[in-house]
Structure 1
Amino acid sequence: MKNLPILFILLASLSINAQSSEYQVSSYLSDGVKAPNTHHIGEAWLNFLVEANADFDKNITQATFSANSTLDWHKHATAQVIIVVDGEGYYQERGKNPVVIKKGDVITCFKETEHWHTSSADSAVSYIAIYGKEPTVWTEKLTQEYYHSVAEELKGK
């Protein structure tokens, strides 16, 4: 019975210590950082949720594009998974027809597949991209003319 207060103090201090441990916590609700207009036209924000390291070989990034933005053609050395968390956009692989992507959609793009994805003409889009640690290979500029032709083609779909 005499040891009960000591046990209580010991457990309380362990609990406090556990609560104050440092965890790496991030949020996909954050806007992230405004991306420089290097491989896109319009406004884009990147939220680097998880960066690849020795223990986990994938990057997880949330990208948010304002309406009527473009993203250049590119490919990755590994597969890429895109999870649309808000809004509406476009996705296209080289040699295939473009499609509308919207909140709830999940797309897998296989390694070395040239593609692009971004917002629709009338809606911002936010998606989480999961991809390998190798750098993105940018292959061709996506022109405004081509983007607008896709927007016209997909209007109402």
Structure 2
Amino acid sequence: MKNEAIKNGVIFPIGEKNDAYAQYFVGQSYLQGLVNDPAVNVGVGNVTFEPGCRNNWHIHHDGYQILLVTGGNGWYQEEGQPAQFLKAGDVVVTHDGVKHWHGATKDSWFTHVAITAGTPEWLAPVSDEIYNNLEA
């Protein structure tokens, strides 16, 4: 899938610049909430990453996160494990308490639906050294 198609929103709208969480990302991301029902205690959002963008290491406490990759190419890595290359159709389940990060490859936009329960603990950014040594 072409970067331009991902940039314009593949399935769901790209949303607004993710300014509320910008401090937890390296690069620019966008967020479109998909479920806005206060009776539902699970967040569901379309997250889009510009090429080279990634979020900081983080942990979900008392919950989990499921990523449904809908476009582009990206990375997912749990602490102590090799990074996993992601493409449209991939599904990632992050269990409670697992330190991890995810984001776009250097040359591709990347988008996923994030289904998230619990409270995130945001940690340090993924270093350029780790990120720049990733190869698909």
Mapping for residues 70-81 of structure 1, pairs under 5 Å:
70-77=54-61, 78-81=63-66
Matches of 1:141 and 1:31 in 2, distance apart? 23
Let me know the Cα RMSD of the aligned residues: 1.7
Q: Which residue of 2 aligns with 1:144?
A: 128
Q: Which residue of 1 aligns with 2:79?
A: 94
Q: Which runs of 5+ in 2 are unaligned?
A: 1-10
**How far has the Cα of 1:70 moved from its partner?**
2.1
Bigger fraction of residues in helix = 1
Q: 1:110 aligns with which of 85, 88, 95?
A: 95
How many residues are paired up? 124
Matches of 2:14 and 2:92 in 1, distance apart? 22
Mapping for residues 33-48 of structure 1, pairs under 5 Å:
33-36=16-19, 37-48=22-33
Equivalent position SS for 1:101 = strand
Matches of 1:29 and 1:65 in 2, distance apart? 14
Q: Which has the larger radius of gyration?
A: 1
Bigger fraction of residues in strand = 2
**How far has the Cα of 1:51 moved from its partner?**
4.0
User: Which of structures 1 and 2 has the larger relative contact order (alpha carbons within 8 angstroms, sep 6+)?
Assistant: 2
When normalised by structure 1's length, the TM-score is 0.73
Between the two proteins, what is the percent identity of the paired residues?
28
Q: Which runs of 5+ in 1 are unaligned?
A: 1-27
Matches of 1:140 and 1:51 in 2, distance apart? 29
Matches of 2:36 and 2:116 in 1, distance apart? 10
CA gap 1:113/1:51 in 2 versus in 1, 3 angstroms: farther
Equivalent position SS for 2:130 = helix
When normalised by structure 2's length, the TM-score is 0.84
The one-letter amino acid of 2:126's match is: L
Equivalent position SS for 1:31 = coil
